[in-house]
Each structure stands twice: as C-alpha cells, then as structure tokens.
Chains A and B, each alone.
Chain A
Amino acid sequence: MSATSKGEKIAGLKVTPDKYVPHRYAGASGDFNPIHIDAEFAKMVGLPGAILHGLYVMGLVAKAATDEAGGDPRALKRLSVQFRGMSYPEQEIEVAGEVIEADGSDVTFDLVAIQNDNQVIRNATADVSYG
C-alpha cells in the first residue's frame, strides 16, 4: 500500500553500495571525477577515501519515491534535493520519507538519505502521482 495521508511514512529503502558502485556509476553517468574512483586522489584532497556520487544517492531517493507510487517511472513528476554531506561505499544508506501534502492521487514526500546518522541528502521533496 502506498502512503496517502499527511504524516504517513513511506516504505523507503536500505542499500549498501559495494566497493565498485562508484566505478559503475561513473561509467553509467559519464562522471569520472577522480574523488569518486581513485581513493588515493580522494585522500590527497582531504577526503577519507573515494566518495559516492551525490547524484547516485539522489537516484536512490528517486527510486524510493517511485517505488512508493508502484514503480512506474511516469509517477515521479518532480524531485529536488540538497546535498549536505559525503557518503561512502560499503556502508549502509537509508532513504526514509513521509507524506507532507496529499491532494487526491497527487502526493508530495519529504525525504532524507542517511548514512551513519549523517543526513547526506536532506530537504528532498518529491511530487508523485498515484494516478
């Protein structure tokens, strides 16, 4: 069942991206920024290691919103996010959310993506249609 009333939580998702997800995401997206695929480079610029692409994590947020509406890609009408932290492969990411507006079959979610208590994406809002 999809969440339809204000304050109701969505199912959300949990995923632990494996070590090579940033490499595969780089290939899929064309974003080969070395901070994502070269741990030594990432350390050189002050990061603890290679970090996940922000837009990959946004992709997980989009998946959680779309799945709540039944999985059809037409259901997701709008998604906006703020990137607020780094996230890393081999550590669990949780996407959680709740309904903040509902007008018939048009529903708006507020979502977050969290890794180790750190909100790496926050203030995400998604407009979906259950129509």
Chain B
Amino acid sequence: MALKTDAVGKSWPAYEYEVGREKIREYAQVIGLDNPVHFDAEAAKSAGYRDIVAPPMFVVVYAAGGMGPVLFDPEVGMNFAAMVHGGQEFEWAEPVCSGDVITTTTTCKDIYPKDGKGFYVFETESKNQNGDLVCRATWTNIVRGIEE
C-alpha cells in the first residue's frame, strides 16, 4: 500500500488540560528533579513564579492529549505496530504553573517516504488561559515497511 498523505495540513480539535500541583510533583519526582520550585509554592513564588512551576518537559503531559486522537485517526492511517518515535523538538515560551489551563492544537505538517519508511510530522501549539504561547512542539513518528 502506498503511503497515504491525505492528512497533510489537517488540524484536530483543541485539547484542554488543567495543570495541578500534584501532577507537576509526580512528573518532577520520576525524572529526579530536585529544584524546590517544582514542589513548593513558596519556593516557586520566591523565584518569581505564580505557583508551583512545571518542568519544561511537562509538555508531554499537557500536550499528549492533543496527539492521542491523531495517532489513531484513520485519515492519517499510521500502522501502529510498525511505528517508532523518531524525533522530538520543543520550543518553550511562557512558563506553565499550577492552575494554568493549557489549550493544545495539533496539525499534520508533513507525511513523506524515505528509505522505505514513512515519516509523519505533527506540530502542536500550546497556549495558556491568557492566550500566551507556552510551547510549540514537533513530533516525528516513523513507520517501517511502506511502499514508495
């Protein structure tokens, strides 16, 4: 089956995520972060944050809900069994703090064949409740064994 590229340019409905203190603590703990700004509201406020602040990579928590439906979208038609996560890029802007409501929109930027593999490139853009950009991400998934 030739590589389907119909989904290039498609966007999906926005995904909303409300950031909570315990979720930030849980993430920071498993990574082994020790900066108190991720655990203690007073420490975070002393450092100039509104509340406990999320580590940059917490984007995987608030933006993943925007990627989930995309991976299973039949219009994208990824062969899940042969898929690997090839690459990832994040660019951060405003910090994310507990109490923020983050809205993520996902767009399919590109689908192309290379060396018998299919490359699926998605972009997510996450903004906070004030409309400020917090993170833009590029997710690249690779599917083995396609026909060119």
Contact = CB atoms under 8 A, between A and B. Distances in A.
Interface string B78-110: 000100111111111001000000000000000
B31 A73 contact: no
Interface residues of A, number: 31
B85 A56 contact: no
B54 interface: yes
Contact of B87 (A29, A60, A80): A80
B30 A24 contact: yes
Contacts, number: 90
Interface residues of B, number: 34
Interface string B58-74: 00110011000000000
Contact of B89 (A60, A63, A74, A80): A80
Given A30-B61, A73-B95, A79 B90 contact: yes
Contacts of A58: 57, 88
B55 A73 contact: yes
B56 A29 contact: no
Interface string A54-69: 1110111011001000
A1 interface: no
Contacts of B84: 83
A27 B87 contact: no
A129 to B, nearest CB: 11
A45 to B, nearest CB: 8
A91 interface: no
Given A28-B61, A60-B31, A62-B56, A83 B88 contact: yes
8 contacts: A25-B30, A29-B27, A62-B56, A63-B55, A66-B55, A73-B37, A73-B54, A73-B56
Interface of A: 15, 21, 24-25, 27-31, 45, 54-56, 58-60, 62-63, 66, 71-74, 76-83
Interface of B: 23, 26-27, 29-35, 37-38, 47, 53-57, 60-61, 64-65, 81, 84-92, 95, 138
